[in-house]
Chains A and B, each alone.
Chain A
Amino acid sequence: MTSQEVDPITLDIIENALKSARFEMDEVVRRISLSPVIREQHDEFPMICNERGQMVVGQFGSYIPEVLQKFDHQVNDGDVFIWNDPYASKGSISHVNDWCVMMPIYHEETLVGFSSIFGHMIDVGGKVPGSMPADSRTIWEEGLRVPPVKIFDKGVLNEGVLDIMLNNSRTPDTNRSDMMALIAGTRAAATRVGEICDRFGRDVYMQACDLLLARTRQAMQVLIHKYIPEEPVSFTDYVDDDGRGNGPFKMTLSIYRRGDIAVFDWTGTDDQAEGPINFHIHEGLCKLFFGVYMIMAFDPDILFNEGFYDLFEIVLPEGSLLNPRFPAALGNRLNTHTRFFDCQAGALGQQAPHLSMAAGYGTSPHFIFTGHDKNDKYFQLVELLFGGVPGRPRGDGFDGASWWPLFSATPIEYIENYYPVMIDSYRPIRDTGGPGLHRGGCGIEKIYRVLAAGEISIHDDRETIPPWGINGGMYGGTSEKYILRVGQDEPERIPSKFDNLKVQPGDKIIYRTAGSGGWGDPYERPAAEVARDARHDLVSREMAEERYGVVLDDTSQVDESATEAAREKLRKARGPAPKFDFGPLPQGIMAAAD
């Protein structure tokens, strides 16, 4: 077969059809699933692969070859695989809460590809509700680990495996339906792929998949030459702590080009942590993360797939935070995961700060509340919160928004209908958006009032290391948490990572996430926009004056001449705008870009 057989138009049509199928997977999962984490917050990630297991469309990376290897390539029509063990699947998923399902797609008895989705289960056992202990030291504490197994074998459900999996969860009914939702999603993709094969011919389809991979590779080649210098650039950022009192943890990334190859080297990153912030990442996923950032930042029209993998070389030092040795704990890896992206934006941003983004709220903040309601029924609320989405070349960041794609907030009225909790207020936090020509988004404050006795757990980060600004933009605000006990007047500060704090009816938890860094010179920001932010109570008058050089009167109107003078003075004192602004760091810590 030569590449001449698929004309360019057919190729574009197949690309569109595959994209539609991929979004249909989301839709099916969203409609069926029971847990709000998947449904309302969209913590699920689909993909469609070619027959060799390479992702052609989707939004995470492919790990299928490893799974196939384990089964000695003995796959059949009707098989559905499932697993949740990061170690047994080489980091295809990064904590045991993610259940991954995968099925081969057959067309007239020929293997033409795979579809796969993983989604976050609200509980998979282990020592704490939600299965993400903030202080675990080994993965043994984080719940049941399932290596890749066939949950359906030639179309027949393996009841035994399912029973074992559900028997080890605090929320078996929810997990069962959420798993069925994931499987329904992969089946929807299989049906669509079959239809494309019918319509264009199987050979054309399979070749089109290869061409789509090649097309993305070609485009990436151009981006690499344009944006990655031969001289290494490096960037260092930190995770606050590991939940066991250790930290901060350093992450250092160096990027350079060797011929056509882009090298991403994590040498200099700290050793694996005692606590659960280790991020066991599959090398393919690592490549994909770099690739998708480059595509979104530099040319979003490019189809996001893994065609460019051979152009990237990844160095993940063994025994480090990013390549931990079994059985290191992994449950709370999202801090490290997000810092991975921050380092990437920082390193790539040195070459092209005008095209790069600042740092965001830097994790996926969790709030977990468990107990028994007045009918003595067990409840388990798991909620993801949001924070500041960074300042960008295109405009301001977003206040209290999701850094992660397609997530959205669970409606307050939903939470209050199903859990013994009331929300007293929900708003962006003033002055947590880093100043900039384009302001960073503010963090969010949510005040929970619990109505039943129970226990709460919190996972957050960016409490000590602020989100940095870029291209002249300034750093954003850090996160903080308090508990106001019923009957007390003064709230008491609580850490950003802990489990199972006992609460009584009437206790309030004040949950504040981090903001994000600004982009561009804040002294250039139109004064009217600063005044508007002040009217909206997102920026204080002091902040306006000290960080933007915008002088406001009592009614938040701009004093033009005073503003001009203040800005003149600030510019002189500062000199040229720095590429990065890391803000106040704990003693002994040096963030760096060079």
Chain B
Amino acid sequence: MAIRLGIDVGGTFTDLLLYDDATERSFRAKTPSTPEDQSIGVIDGIRQISEISGVKPADIDLILHGATVATNAVLEGKGARVGLLTTKGFEYTLHLAKSWTPGPLFGWIIMDKPEPLARLDDTKGIVERIDARGGVDTQLDIAQATEAIKDLCGSGIEALTISLLHSYANPDHERVLKKIVAEHFPDIPVSLSSDILPEFREYDRAITTVMNDYVRPIMHNYLSQFASRLDQENIKARLHIVRSDGGLMSAEAASERPVHTILSGPAGGVTSTAIIARKTGVNKLLAFDMGGTSTDVSVILDGEPTVARSTEVGYFPAKVPTLDIRSVGAGGGSIANVSELTKSLRVGPASAGAKPGPVAYGKGGTQATVSDANVTLGYLPAKLLGGEMTLNVDGARAAVAKIGTAIGLDAEAAAQGILDIANETMLGALRLVTVQRGLDPREFGIVAFGGAGPLHANAMAAVLGCYPVIVPPNPGVLSALGFVQSEFKNEFVQTLIRSGDEFKADELWSHCRRLQKLAGDWLDEESVAPGDQSVRYTIDLRYEQQGFEVTVDLPQKAIDDDDLERVLSSFHDLHDRMYGVRFDVPVELVALRVVAIGAMPALIEKAPAGGADANPDDAIIEHHPTYFRGTWVDTPNYDREKLTQGTTIQGPAIIRQYDTTTLLLPDHRAEVDQFGNLVIWPTDGGKNND
């Protein structure tokens, strides 16, 4: 039994959600974010939620925090000055960045390449060399190394990365260097590539480790500042940070390995979607999080989020386990424009952001955005419920009309066009996570959240056939809700490149047992009760010499029964399903991963009041002209708070609530289910395939 607090720091607002296991009650609060020091806004929020809930700050047991400081530092180029030690002769690894240039032919003409995260001035080569099998080709030159370290560490760097060739196969030299640094410069934080990413491919390993150091001082400062503020408020709660793969790590671990928080922010919504899948029984779901500048989508399979091995933060790759979230540059603030030469309409990726924002917000925006198109068609009401803001409908319409003039369409058709094109971009992302992986979107439902998700999700479903559309009760705090229900999670990896005769089951099982021990120790350290502990095994396999691995589950039973064949056969099947082909060439083992999991009790939500006989008309705020399929229709606008369990309403309709607006299209109906979700189906359809 505990009192848990979830904190989601967004670009504009900080959302908090407090849950008390004992009373089964949850409370939420929202305060403006304070980008100069996020902890100020967070503390404000804690005071506020304490007032609302009557829970004393000192009584909070656990704080589960989605941290965006690392992401922002990389995206804004505001990280620390990082020094880099590499193998001599390979100082330019980051500068060359794999030599990649974009397509099509001549794509380099318009390429922009940012400065590496560790500058060349701060990079030093060390005389040493390990070979691909982990053997020492050239001994580490301690004298030269010490000199280089003194030179570099005395130059004002704030963190140091050590990334030597083949250190995944033999980390000795990296460790010796770390010791030398600790002797002379005990205050400089050091990351070893063999710790952060013990996998082959030198650029990926180096950039990921450097990124860790690039954000490390910032994360460290933030967390220590936050800890002292908590102290001042007499809050004794344990602080945990949400990892990019949706798991939790201690604040201490996050200080050491902040690169693991690089997709911390969007993870909460995905975790919530997985929980919705388990609760509603719709166990295949698409998470659709549409915000102001971008949209994040991901897949829930059998009630579990899918995990990817790498992600990109702006220009830079980061090879860390992350929830497999695809992000596209389409959101409410995406700007529409017309190409001069071809007269084609483009929407985004440029965004009006929070400032100047869409024209409708009256904060100085002049270019038509997706939100302005929604206003023009009557989908976004002029007065947002619970908000103080009144939208500038005429301004939005004029901006959209201007786009229409350029392509010979009236304002309504232009608005519809802007929405269709933005929707298409988001559909592209949804296709990427489904059909491109051999998954049929028609077997999925879709969960809409983020400020703009519920406005667009019905249209997504109409094209992809992914029903039902589920709009949870509080789409605006879905992330914070996910955080309070996140599991403890950590991954233990062993790179083992083995094929042919070298690929032996015995060796694999013995590594399984070794990593399982590490996993258990970690869970104990995180104070996870034995009953809540579990481990999962996966192995990365590929056809010999293929460059990309397929991750296959390794069931405990296969280990117990010494049944490697079964694992190989699931590899062939999976490869066939994903890529439509299987080969008769040797299978190669690349890595073993053991994931330690500490369960967190689910939140129990009380169903909203009401009954089947409730009259939805009581919830109508007003009727408002709204544009569907070429005509204006007088459309009811409902108050979401007044829609009770079991109520069904027919589309078209607009459903307004404090933090979002849901658009219910014609020929669709929405029901309120026992958890308070709005569940949208086509009028003539019904059941999900599951």
A180 at the interface (CB under 8 A from B): yes
Count: A-B pairs, CB below 8 Å: 226
Can you identify 18 A-B contacts, CB atoms within 8 angstroms?
Answer: A9-B417, A24-B436, A31-B548, A34-B546, A35-B545, A219-B342, A289-B105, A292-B104, A296-B109, A301-B346, A302-B342, A303-B342, A394-B110, A412-B202, A414-B201, A422-B129, A425-B90, A427-B91
Q: Closest approach, in angstroms, between the C-beta of A467 and any C-beta of chain B? A: 14
Q: Known: A31-B579, A413-B201. Is A296-B344 also a contact (CB below 8 A)? A: no
- Chain A residues 17 to 34 lying within 8 A of chain B, measured CB to CB, are 17, 20, 24, 27-28, 30-34
Q: Of A173, A216, A408, which one neighbours B98 at CB under 8 angstroms?
A: A408
Kindly list chain B residues whose C-beta atoms are within 8 Å of the C-beta of A102. none
Q: When chains A and B are docked, how far (Å) is the Cα of A59 from the Cα of B104?
A: 6
B618 at the interface (CB under 8 A from A): no
Q: Known: A8-B345, A15-B344, A39-B546. Is A409-B201 also a contact (CB below 8 A)? A: no
A406 contacts B421, C-beta separation under 8 Å: no
Stretch of B3-11, B50-58, B259-267, B423-431 lying at the A interface: B423-431
Q: When chains A and B are docked, how far (Å) is the Cα of A8 from the Cα of B98?
A: 40
Q: Closest approach, in angstroms, between the C-beta of B588 and any C-beta of chain A? A: 10
B546 contacts A304, C-beta separation under 8 Å: no
Kindly list chain B residues whose C-beta atoms are within 8 Å of the C-beta of A389. 101, 108
B96 contacts A400, C-beta separation under 8 Å: yes
Q: When chains A and B are docked, how far (Å) is the Cα of A402 from the Cα of B102?
A: 9
A392 contacts B109, C-beta separation under 8 Å: yes
Q: When chains A and B are docked, how far (Å) is the Cα of A223 from the Cα of B341?
A: 9
15 further A-B pairs in the complex, CB-CB below 8 A; given A12-B424, A16-B425, A292-B106: A13-B421, A27-B436, A28-B579, A39-B547, A59-B105, A177-B543, A184-B579, A184-B580, A215-B343, A293-B105, A401-B96, A414-B200, A418-B545, A426-B89, A447-B89
Interface size in chain B (residues, C-beta < 8 A): 73
- Chain A residues 295 to 348 lying within 8 A of chain B, measured CB to CB, are 296-297, 299-304
- Chain A residues 379 to 417 lying within 8 A of chain B, measured CB to CB, are 386, 389, 392, 394-395, 398-409, 411-414, 416-417
Kindly list chain A residues whose C-beta atoms are within 8 Å of the C-beta of B421. 9, 12-13, 16
Kindly list chain B residues whose C-beta atoms are within 8 Å of the C-beta of A444. 96, 99
A504 at the interface (CB under 8 A from B): no
Q: Which residue of B lies closest to A300 (CB)?
A: B110
A297 contacts B106, C-beta separation under 8 Å: yes
A154 at the interface (CB under 8 A from B): no
Q: When chains A and B are docked, how far (Å) is the Cα of A476 from the Cα of B16?
A: 58
Q: Which of A174, A293, A417, A447 has the most CB of B within 10 A?
A: A417
A474 at the interface (CB under 8 A from B): no
Q: When chains A and B are docked, how far (Å) is the Cα of A389 from the Cα of B102?
A: 12
Kindly list chain A residues whose C-beta atoms are within 8 Å of the C-beta of B432. 20
Q: Closest approach, in angstroms, between the C-beta of B2 and any C-beta of chain A? A: 44
B218 at the interface (CB under 8 A from A): no
Q: When chains A and B are docked, how far (Å) is the Cα of A374 from the Cα of B82?
A: 42
B257 at the interface (CB under 8 A from A): no
B132 contacts A416, C-beta separation under 8 Å: yes
B436 contacts A36, C-beta separation under 8 Å: no
Q: Closest approach, in angstroms, between the C-beta of B523 and any C-beta of chain A? A: 32
Q: Which residue of B lies closest to A195 (CB)?
A: B435
- Chain A residues 458 to 475 lying within 8 A of chain B, measured CB to CB, are none
Q: Which residue of B lies closest to A191 (CB)?
A: B435
B386 at the interface (CB under 8 A from A): no
Q: Known: A296-B106, A413-B132. Is A408-B100 also a contact (CB below 8 A)? A: yes
Kindly list chain B residues whose C-beta atoms are within 8 Å of the C-beta of A399. 92, 95-96
A424 at the interface (CB under 8 A from B): yes
Interface size in chain A (residues, C-beta < 8 A): 87
A357 at the interface (CB under 8 A from B): yes
Kindly list chain A residues whose C-beta atoms are within 8 Å of the C-beta of B129. 422
Q: Which 9 A-B pairs have the closest CB atoms?
A: A425-B89, A405-B103, A296-B106, A9-B417, A219-B341, A408-B100, A416-B132, A408-B98, A39-B547
B121 at the interface (CB under 8 A from A): yes
B420 contacts A9, C-beta separation under 8 Å: yes
A199 at the interface (CB under 8 A from B): yes
Q: Closest approach, in angstroms, between the C-beta of A444 and any C-beta of chain B? A: 8
Kindly list chain B residues whose C-beta atoms are within 8 Å of the C-beta of A8. 343-345, 407-409, 417
A422 contacts B137, C-beta separation under 8 Å: yes
A428 at the interface (CB under 8 A from B): yes
Q: Which of A199, A304, A411 has the most CB of B within 10 A?
A: A411
A409 contacts B92, C-beta separation under 8 Å: no
- Residue numbers of B with Cβ under 8 A of A are 88-93, 95-96, 98-113, 120-121, 129, 131-132, 137, 165-166, 200-204, 339, 341-346, 407-409, 413, 416-417, 420-421, 424-425, 428, 431-432, 435-436, 463, 497, 543-548, 578-581, 583, 585
B106 contacts A417, C-beta separation under 8 Å: no
Q: Which residue of B lies closest to A13 (CB)?
A: B424
Q: Closest approach, in angstroms, between the C-beta of A2 and any C-beta of chain B? A: 15
A110 at the interface (CB under 8 A from B): no
- Residue numbers of A with Cβ under 8 A of B are 8-9, 11-13, 15-17, 20, 24, 27-28, 30-36, 39-40, 59, 173-174, 176-177, 180-181, 184, 187-188, 191, 195, 199, 215-216, 218-219, 222-223, 289, 292-293, 296-297, 299-304, 357, 386, 389, 392, 394-395, 398-409, 411-414, 416-418, 422-428, 444, 447, 535-536
Q: Closest approach, in angstroms, between the C-beta of A378 and any C-beta of chain B? A: 13
Q: Which residue of A lies closest to B199 (CB)?
A: A413
Q: Closest approach, in angstroms, between the C-beta of A419 and any C-beta of chain B? A: 9
A398 contacts B110, C-beta separation under 8 Å: no
Q: Closest approach, in angstroms, between the C-beta of B57 and any C-beta of chain A? A: 49
Judged by DSSP, the binding face of A is helix
Kindly list chain B residues whose C-beta atoms are within 8 Å of the C-beta of A173. 585
Kindly list chain A residues whose C-beta atoms are within 8 Å of the C-beta of B131. 416, 422
Q: Which residue of A lies closest to B92 (CB)?
A: A427
Q: When chains A and B are docked, how far (Å) is the Cα of A389 from the Cα of B113?
A: 13
Q: When chains A and B are docked, how far (Å) is the Cα of A396 from the Cα of B497?
A: 40
Q: Which of A184, A414, A535 has the most CB of B within 10 A?
A: A414
Q: Of A12, A180, A292, which one neighbours B583 at CB under 8 angstroms?
A: A180
Q: Known: A187-B580, A426-B89, A427-B92. Is A407-B409 also a contact (CB below 8 A)? A: no
Q: Closest approach, in angstroms, between the C-beta of A201 and any C-beta of chain B? A: 14
Kindly list chain A residues whose C-beta atoms are within 8 Å of the C-beta of B88. 425
B428 contacts A20, C-beta separation under 8 Å: yes
Kindly list chain A residues whose C-beta atoms are within 8 Å of the C-beta of B90. 412, 425-427
A402 contacts B99, C-beta separation under 8 Å: yes
Kindly list chain B residues whose C-beta atoms are within 8 Å of the C-beta of A386. 99
Kindly list chain A residues whose C-beta atoms are within 8 Å of the C-beta of B93. 426
Q: Which residue of A lies closest to B419 (CB)?
A: A9
Q: When chains A and B are docked, how far (Å) is the Cα of A413 from the Cα of B585?
A: 22
Q: When chains A and B are docked, how far (Å) is the Cα of A100 from the Cα of B421?
A: 34
Q: Closest approach, in angstroms, between the C-beta of B336 and any C-beta of chain A? A: 11
A12 contacts B100, C-beta separation under 8 Å: no
Q: Of A59, A398, A418, which one neighbours B101 at CB under 8 angstroms?
A: A398
Q: Known: A389-B101, A408-B98. Is A293-B548 also a contact (CB below 8 A)? A: no
Q: Closest approach, in angstroms, between the C-beta of A173 and any C-beta of chain B? A: 6
Q: Closest approach, in angstroms, between the C-beta of A302 and any C-beta of chain B? A: 6
Q: Which residue of B lies closest to A293 (CB)?
A: B106
Q: Which residue of B lies closest to A15 (CB)?
A: B344
Kindly list chain A residues whose C-beta atoms are within 8 Å of the C-beta of B413. 9
Q: Which residue of B lies closest to A301 (CB)?
A: B339
Kindly list chain B residues whose C-beta atoms are within 8 Å of the C-beta of A299. 341
Q: When chains A and B are docked, how far (Å) is the Cα of A426 from the Cα of B94?
A: 12
Q: When chains A and B are docked, how far (Å) is the Cα of A395 from the Cα of B111?
A: 9
B99 contacts A296, C-beta separation under 8 Å: no
Kindly list chain A residues whose C-beta atoms are within 8 Å of the C-beta of B580. 184, 187
Q: Closest approach, in angstroms, between the C-beta of A3 and any C-beta of chain B? A: 13
Kindly list chain B residues whose C-beta atoms are within 8 Å of the C-beta of A428. 92, 95-96
A199 contacts B463, C-beta separation under 8 Å: yes
Kindly list chain A residues whose C-beta atoms are within 8 Å of the C-beta of B96. 399-401, 409, 426, 428, 444
Q: Known: A8-B409, A173-B585, A405-B105. Is A215-B342 also a contact (CB below 8 A)? A: yes
Q: Known: A8-B344, A428-B95. Is A304-B202 also a contact (CB below 8 A)? A: no
Kindly list chain A residues whose C-beta atoms are within 8 Å of the C-beta of B543. 34, 177
B104 contacts A394, C-beta separation under 8 Å: no
